[in-house]
Amino acid sequence: MLPRSPRQLFAGLVMIGRTTDKARMYVAGRLGDYTFGAECPMDSLVWEFLDLDPHVLVEKIRPTGSDDELEIWIAQEYVSKKTSEEITRWNDFVLTYPQAGSPAYAWMPKIREQYYSKRPDLVTFVDMLDADEGRHVPVGGTPTAPVRVAPVLKNRQG
Residues of the chain above pLDDT 90, percent: 54
How many domains is the chain built from?
Answer: 1
Residue 150, pLDDT above cutoff 80:
no
Domain assignment present for residue 43? The answer is yes
At what angle are helices 84-95 and 41-50 packed, to 10 degrees? 170
Residue 61: other Cβ atoms inside 10 A: 18
Q: The whole model's pTM is what?
A: 0.84
- Pairwise CA distance, residues 6 & 134, whole Å: 13
Across residues 28-37, what is the average pLDDT? 93
Domain assignment present for residue 11? The answer is no
Residue 30, pLDDT above cutoff 60:
yes
The pLDDT value given to residue 35:
94
Domain assignment present for residue 8? The answer is no
DSSP string, 117-157: TT-TT--SHHHHHHHHTT----TT---S--B--S--HHHHH
Residue 92, pLDDT above cutoff 70:
yes
DSSP 79: G
Cβ proximity of 115 and 132 under 8 Å: yes
Q: Which of 35 and 157 is assigned the larger pLDDT?
A: 35
Q: Which of 131 and 50 is assigned the larger pLDDT?
A: 50
The pLDDT value given to residue 144:
56
Domain assignment present for residue 10? The answer is no
- Taking all residues of the chain, what is their mean pLDDT, rounded to a whole number? 85
- Pairwise CA distance, residues 67 & 20, whole Å: 9
Nearest Cα to Cα of residue 92 among 134, 150, 49, 54:
49
Domain region containing 95: 16-157
Domain assignment present for residue 3? The answer is no
The pLDDT value given to residue 11:
96
Domain assignment present for residue 105? The answer is yes
